[in-house]
């Protein structure tokens, strides 16, 4: 029986194996994903992003606890920095969330960025599909925590949560517009620390200045003390309200179309580049192009155009 068929029958080991194959970029994983794809699109994907040290892992851990009390099945994808030695994930969010490991309603997977910028790894989108096909109600994606450029999660999540904390020397004025624009929900964690009121006030001003008059959703701000479990229930309720607004206003379908377009183009670019490199390397053409460029006999722009014309006359 194929891995995909086993996953649809509830085989956890098969799901783990396919996720490993996806992360290792094995060609066989694509065939399994083709089978799973019709069974996806039902889970609500929640991205949790923010700078290092804001308490994303603790927040996710507490959110899982509240969701499980509501009998929701949960998938967690924790994207970690890459080890320079093994290429695998370091920091180990699965260790931090170990208390959920024996809960059959929770599935946790760590992924390494493997040099991919934007806060998530290349394999994140496909691992989300596997968890979706497994029947998870909510999938929480914790990004790696690279800071202001960490905006790729918006292409994977239905609800994007931006986590901030006071006292990091990173005032709202210093935060780039990108990470503010992707937030559907904002969380001020460690709100017992000095400066939380000021942070909230500045955040509200920035959101009001940037808000469009056509928006059907005003991003709320929640104050949490994740390590104590304070404010988590309100945050989870806010996620549910955002989900309801998406469905009622027809925004969920629009969102799904945007993500489908993005995903298709990314897969197309990746597949074309892979096949093109194989072709160029096989007949030695790539080396000839490089030699001609080094000798300044050819420029890279003309060479690229010539290759494109050969493929797409």
- Measure the CA angle with vertex 35, ends 14 and 26; round to 5°: 60
Would you state the pLDDT for residue 90? 45
SS3 187: strand
Phi-psi sector, 223: left (phi>0), alpha (psi -120 to 50), beta: beta
Mean pLDDT along residues 216-245: 94
Going by pLDDT thresholds of 50, 70 and 90, the confidence category of residue 23 is: confident
Query: Per-domain residue ranges for the chain?
Result: 1-38, 40-249, 262-311
Would you state the pLDDT for residue 194? 87
SS3 200: helix
Which of 122-136, 208-222, 283-297 is predicted least confidently?
208-222
Q: What is the pLDDT of residues 82-138, one digit of tens each?
A: 543 344 444 444 455 667 777 889 999 988 765 444 445 678 899 999 999 999 999
Q: What is the DSSP letter of 49?
A: E
Going by pLDDT thresholds of 50, 70 and 90, the confidence category of residue 80 is: confident
Mean pLDDT along residues 37-54: 91
pLDDT tops 50 at residue 284: yes
Which of 61-75, 164-178, 240-254, 271-285 is predicted least confidently?
164-178
Rounded (10°) angle between helices 124-133 and 27-36: 40
Closest CA to 30 of 1, 4, 7, 6: 4
Neighbours of 3 (CB within 10 A): 24
Rounded to an integer, what distance in angstroms lies between the CA atom of residue 292 and that of residue 305?
15
Would you state the pLDDT for residue 216? 78
Closest CA to 128 of 28, 263, 269: 263
Mean pLDDT along residues 190-197: 89
pLDDT tops 50 at residue 220: yes
Which of 40-44, 138-142, 167-171, 286-290 is predicted least confidently?
167-171
Rounded to an integer, what distance in angstroms lies between the CA atom of residue 288 and that of residue 295?
11
Would you state the pLDDT for residue 177? 55
The percent of residues in the chain predicted with pLDDT above 70, rounded, is: 82
- Alpha helix (H) ranges present in the chain? 3-8, 12-23, 27-36, 56-69, 93-96, 124-133, 177-181, 196-210, 232-248, 251-282, 285-294, 300-311
Cα–chain center distance at 302: 36
Which of 41-50, 59-68, 169-178, 236-245 is predicted least confidently?
169-178
CATH of domain 40-249: 3.40.50.300
For residue 299, give both structure tokens: 């420029």
Would you state the pLDDT for residue 266? 87
Neighbours of 36 (CB within 10 A): 21
């Amino acid at each position: 029986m194929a891995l995909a068929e086993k996953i649809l029958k509830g085989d956890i080991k098969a799901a783990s194996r396919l996720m490993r194959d996806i992360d290792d970029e094995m060609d066989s994983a694509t065939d399994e994903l083709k089978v799973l794809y019709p069974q996806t699109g039902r889970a609500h994907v929640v991205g949790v992003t923010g700078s290092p040290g804001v308490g994303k892992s603790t927040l996710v851990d507490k959110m899982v606890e509240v969701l499980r009390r509501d009998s929701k099945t949960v998938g967690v994808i924790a994207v970690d920095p890459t080890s320079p030695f093994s290429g695998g994930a370091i920091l180990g969010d699965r260790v931090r969330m170990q208390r959920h490991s024996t809960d059959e309603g929770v599935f946790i997977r760590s992924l390494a960025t493997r040099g991919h910028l934007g806060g998530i790894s290349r394999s994140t989108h496909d691992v989300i599909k596997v968890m979706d096909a497994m029947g998870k109600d909510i999938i929480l994606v914790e990004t790696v925590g690279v800071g202001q450029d960490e905006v790729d999660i918006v292409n994977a999540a239905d609800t994007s949560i931006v986590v901030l904390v006071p006292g990091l020397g990173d005032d709202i004025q210093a935060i780039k517009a990108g990470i503010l624009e992707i937030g559907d929900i904002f969380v001020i964690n460690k709100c017992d620390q000095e400066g939380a009121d000021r942070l909230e006030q500045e955040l509200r001003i920035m959101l009001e200045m940037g808000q469009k008059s056509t928006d059907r959703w005003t991003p709320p701000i929640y104050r949490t003390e994740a390590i104590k479990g304070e404010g988590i229930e309100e945050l989870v309720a806010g996620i549910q309200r955002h989900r309801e607004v998406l469905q009622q206003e027809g925004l969920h379908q629009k969102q799904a179309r945007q993500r489908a377009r993005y995903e298709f183009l990314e897969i197309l670019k990746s597949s074309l580049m892979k096949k093109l490199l194989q072709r160029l390397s096989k007949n030695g053409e790539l080396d000839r192009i490089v030699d001609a460029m080094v000798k300044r006999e050819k420029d890279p722009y003309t060479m690229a155009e010539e290759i494109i014309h050969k493929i797409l006359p």
